[in-house]
Structure 1
Amino acid sequence: MNDFALWPVLAGTAAFFIVGALWYGVIFAKPWQRAAGLTNRQLQAGNMGLIFGLAFLFEMLIAMVLWHLLARTDPKPFVVMMMAMGFALGVMIPAIGVNYLFLRKPLALFLIDAGHFLVGMAAMGGVFVWFRS
């Protein structure tokens, strides 16, 4: 397995991105908007191409790091999932938790965003397991 492989990284990124689209666009759209304190006007005022493009690039960076770790350790499939979920539970979620505490963000926003990271990383891990089999 190469340290960097374009197709698995793109597929893992796409899986995470699709989870985000469903999470924030269908499942938790209104609760997230309320918890974030954003009006419809504020949401429409953003440069959506730039926002989605940068979100995809950030998620791709996450996929590249996870794929690199998998390439270096060559773990069994269940360990791939443990690494993906562990990355969310041990790094990503605590990081946003620290930021949200100091920003005085509501618990509801934290739970919605934390859930997105957890499910997104599980999807990415599942894609990586599939590519490695």
Structure 2
Amino acid sequence: MGDINLLAVLLGSVAFFLIGAVWYGPLFGKTWMGLTGVNEETVKQPGRNPTWLIMLLCFLFEMLVVTMLGHSVARSSGQPHIVMMMAVGFAATIMAPAIGINYLYQMKPGKLFAIDAGYFIVGMAAAGGVFILMG
């Protein structure tokens, strides 16, 4: 039972965030925008949060999640398969179902759930990979 590896938390958060840039950019950006109704005009409407603030808050939320992963890794054996099981397990059994519950009540399409839940699973796998690489 060791201390949280803060460098792994920071780099894991960066990996998670960068996955999001690719995920919501070239991979699924157009589809996601169509499903959410977000476009260049809606982003620029008065009263909307500026993009830099949204990105900063997303990064901080991701860092909070990765910090919890770091805490769990510090309390475990740290074996790679255990780390990846925790990272993907958090996303697949906690984060994705939480999104799913919200989307069910908001009557959002299943395709949007698949995009957003998939991002959390892949992003957490990337964060887990950073923890594995950092030992």
* Distance (whole Å) between structure 2 residues aligned to residue 29 and residue 10 of structure 1: 25
Q: Matches of 1:65 and 1:78 in 2, distance apart?
A: 17
Task: State the TM-score, normalized to the length of structure 1.
Answer: 0.94
1:36 corresponds in structure 2 to 36
Residue 7 of structure 1: CA displacement? 1.0
Q: Deviations over 1:87-119 (max 9, x none)?
A: 011000000000000011111110100110111
Distance 1:48 1:38 in 2: 12
2:70 aligned with 1:85: no
CA distance in 2, matches of 1:20, 1:39: 17
Shift of 1:66: 0.3
- TM superposition shift of 1:18: 0.3
Q: Distance in 1 between matches of 2:107 and 2:64?
A: 28
TM-score (norm 2): 0.92
- For residue 40 of structure 1, report the CA deviation from its aligned partner: 2.4
| SS class of match (1:73) | coil
Kindly indicate whether the alpha-carbon contact (under 8 Å) linking 2:5 and 2:74 is maintained by their aligned counterparts in 1. no
Residue 2 (structure 1) shift:
4.1
Unaligned segments of structure 1, at least 5 residues: none
Partner of 1:27: 27
* Identical-pair percentage: 50
Once residues 66 and 84 of structure 2 are traced to their aligned partners in structure 1, the CA distance between those partners, rounded to angstroms, is 13
Aligned ranges for residues 26-105 of structure 1 at < 5 Å? 26-45=26-45, 46-105=49-108
Match of 1:5 in 2: 5
Task: Say yes or no: does 1:126 pair with 2:134.
Answer: no
Of Structure 1 and Structure 2, which has the larger fraction of its residues in helix? 1
SS in 1 for 2:75: helix
Aligned-partner Cα distance in 1 for 2:85–2:44:
37
